[in-house]
Amino acid sequence: FDQRDGWIWYNGELVPWKDAKVHVLTHGLHYGSCVFEGERLYNGEIFKLREHTERLFKSAEILGFKIPYTVEDIDKACIETVKAQGLTNGYLRPVAWRGSEMMGVSAQNNRINVAVAAWEWPSYFDPEQRLKGIRMDIAQYRRPSPETAPCKSKAAGLYMICTISKHAAEAKGYADAMMLDYRGYVAEATGANMFFVKDGVIHTPTPDCFLDGITRRTVMDLARKRGYEIIERHIKPEELDDFSECFITGTAAEVTAVAEIGPHRFTPGEITKVLMDDYTAEVNPKKGAA
């Protein structure tokens, strides 16, 4: 992945993709002082760019560091990167981390580095499976409590248990894993939020210890526009058998149907399909309108 041709925005300038390197003594690598974003570009426009950039700044602030650029600078960096890469559709990865000037837990004088990479990334899950529904395992690890981890930050360190869980699921032939939270309630997938349907009503876990995703909020708005009722609440894993449909949402995953979670079975139905289509329409700017 690091040997491609192309350009990456790195601390204020575009550098060749292969040269966008960090030192092995980078604090972000040793101690997880790193935050990132995941964004998608549809027909030449980055979906909710400003919201993503603002979340990047917020994530850094929660970890106690300040990104040495303005939100406008980073928005521009994203647009510049997409242009340099010649992309019309793709995925963007802004990332900010503490550098290698000091080694130790304390990193008061380390430079805050920022980079933005962009590349083509059509579908996170197999396109056919996205409609039929993916198969999910139940993860061994739980989302930590807000007293244990800065769970409102999209911090690299919080993904350690996601990668372990996703790898364990993949080793068993599943596409992803559902993670419970520290209390044992249903939380989220390893990189996406979760929704369920019962008797035409949408139920989704209250995001009090995991990301309230930008896609999650977009899909909730679309669902309300359709007149669907949405209940945000704590959901117990024992309840999964009561639900007929299940889907996950995320920038990378978009809206993806779920057919299985451990022993539980779901059938992608009307609500999942309607929201998949509405989301596709929402993210694709209407050319020639107005």
> Min. distance of Cβ 209 from ligand PMP in angstroms?
11
Distance CA 168, CA 147 (A): 27
Distance CA 150, CA 6 (A): 34
Of residues 54-73, those binding ligand PMP (CB under 6 A) = none
Among 94, 133, 205, 213, binds ligand PMP (CB under 6 A): 213
Distance CA 186, CA 92 (A): 29
Among 110, 153, 165, 193, binds ligand PMP (CB under 6 A): 193
Number of residues that bind ligand PMP (CB under 6 A): 15
User: Binding marks (x or -) toward ligand PMP, 126..165, rule CB under 6 A?
Assistant: ------------------------------------x---
Distance CA 290, CA 276 (A): 25
Distance CA 106, CA 46 (A): 36
> Min. distance of Cβ 218 from ligand PMP in angstroms?
8
Q: Does 250 bind ligand PMP (CB under 6 A)?
A: yes
- Decide: 75 and 94 in contact? Cβ < 8 Å: no
- Decide: 142 and 180 in contact? Cβ < 8 Å: yes
Candidate list 48, 152, 154, 166, residue with the active-site label: 154
Q: Does 211 bind ligand PMP (CB under 6 A)?
A: yes
The stretch near ligand PMP (CB under 6 A) out of 27-35, 56-64, 232-240, 247-255 is 247-255
Q: Between 153 and 215, name the residue whose CB sits nearer to ligand PMP.
A: 215
Of residues 25-44, those binding ligand PMP (CB under 6 A) = 38
Distance CA 118, CA 137 (A): 30
Residue 154 known to be catalytic: yes
- Decide: 25 and 103 in contact? Cβ < 8 Å: yes
Among 153, 204, 215, 256, binds ligand PMP (CB under 6 A): 215
- Decide: 204 and 196 in contact? Cβ < 8 Å: yes
Q: Does 214 bind ligand PMP (CB under 6 A)?
A: yes
The burial class, CB within 10 Å (0-12 / 13-18 / 19+), for 53 is buried
Q: Does 191 bind ligand PMP (CB under 6 A)?
A: yes
Q: Does 107 bind ligand PMP (CB under 6 A)?
A: no
Tokens of 38: 């995941």
Buried b / exposed e along 185-220 (16+ C-beta atoms within 10 A): bbbbbbbbbbbbbeeeebbbbebbbbbebbbbebbb
Active site residues: 154
- Contacting residues toward ligand PMP, per CB under 6 A: 38, 162, 188, 191-193, 210-211, 213-216, 249-251
